[in-house]
Amino acid sequence: MQIVLEENELHNHQIFLENGYIIVKNSTNTYEKIQDELTSIFEMDLNRIHQSDLKDINPIRLDAIKRLNQDHSFHHSIYNDFKSYIYSLVGNELAMQKNINLSIHRPNISDDLLDIHSDSLCGNSNYELTVWMPLTKAYDSNSMYIIPLKDSVQAITKLKNGEYKTIENLKEDVKSKYKFINIDPGETLLFSHNLLHGNIINETSETRCSINMRFKSLLTPYDQKEMGSYYIPISPKPVTKLGNMFDEL
Ligand SMILES: [Fe+2]
């Protein structure tokens, strides 16, 4: 039996399957609320964090992460913001990442580098959707790059076949494929973290701040990032609840 999808949904599915990601407009002003929260913590515009007098911003960054995660109100706002896409791309019986992550990528600071990786090679399962929401303008080297789907598949195949001696060999191989995500606050990247991605030294004059969190279909496989410690269920259905109950007898 073939399920007939709505035209919009089919379009989004095609884009996601071709590219491994989709860029969408936020449907609420959650990003502004998070911007306000973080601006009050850092006491400055987020794109100027690099001008802070603080030598080490990590303690304040950790405090900011704590504040983003102290109750689950931001989690639910993010979920509601992208619910229709998450339902369409992932499903409607979901698990959500327990902690929202905050990334700060300051100009010319090598400490802020995130080397090329795919999360599914680092303990996440293959079955997850990452919501990557910029809080400042994300462009060129201040943004994140992704390696297009076909090239990621090719490079990960070579990696698994032992064709790269070091990660530097892999990097060299895909260097010409970097695609920087150019989006403004109010837009969000929904991507499969199976894609290779990372960042390079930020050569712009602005700091990029972004948050990310993950959603997955509740009953898909988990890797090292497990239910309970890393994920929480958000919409288990009655049949699953009863099933779990009987599993435990
Ligand atoms: Fe990642």
Mean pLDDT of all residues in 39-67: 91
Q: For 135-158, give one letter per residue: b (16+ CB within 10 A) or e.
A: bbbbbbbbbbbbbbbebbeebbee
Ligand 1 geometric centre to CA of 240 (Å): 30
Q: What is the pLDDT of residues 79-104, one digit of tens each?
A: 999 999 999 999 999 999 999 999 99
- CA–centroid distance, 119 to ligand 1, in Å, is 5
Q: What is the largest CA-CA distance in the chain?
A: 63
Predicted TM-score (pTM) of the model is 0.94
Residue 10 has pLDDT above 90, yes or no: no
Mean confidence (pLDDT) of the chain? 94
DSSP 151: H
Expressed in angstroms and rounded, the spacing between residue 248 Cα and the centre of ligand 1 is: 35
Cα distance between residue 211 and residue 133, in whole Å: 5
Distance spanning both ends of the chain, measured CA to CA: 36
* Centre of ligand 1 from the C-alpha of residue 51, in Å: 26
Average of pLDDT values for 116-141?
97
Taking the centre of ligand 1 as the mean of its atom positions, its distance from the CA of residue 121, in whole angstroms, is: 10
* pLDDT range class, residue 179, cuts 50, 70, 90: very high
Overall average pLDDT of the 12-20 stretch: 95
Instruction: State the fold for domain 7-247.
Output: Jelly Rolls (2.60.120)
Q: What is the residue extent of each domain of the chain?
A: 7-247
Q: Supply the DSSP string of 60-107, one letter for each residue.
A: HHHHHHHHHHSSSHHHHHHHHHHHHHHHHHT-SSEEEESS-EEEEE-B
Q: What percent of the chain has pLDDT over 90?
A: 89
List the structure tokens of 63.
């405090």
Q: Give the model's pLDDT for residue 4.
A: 62
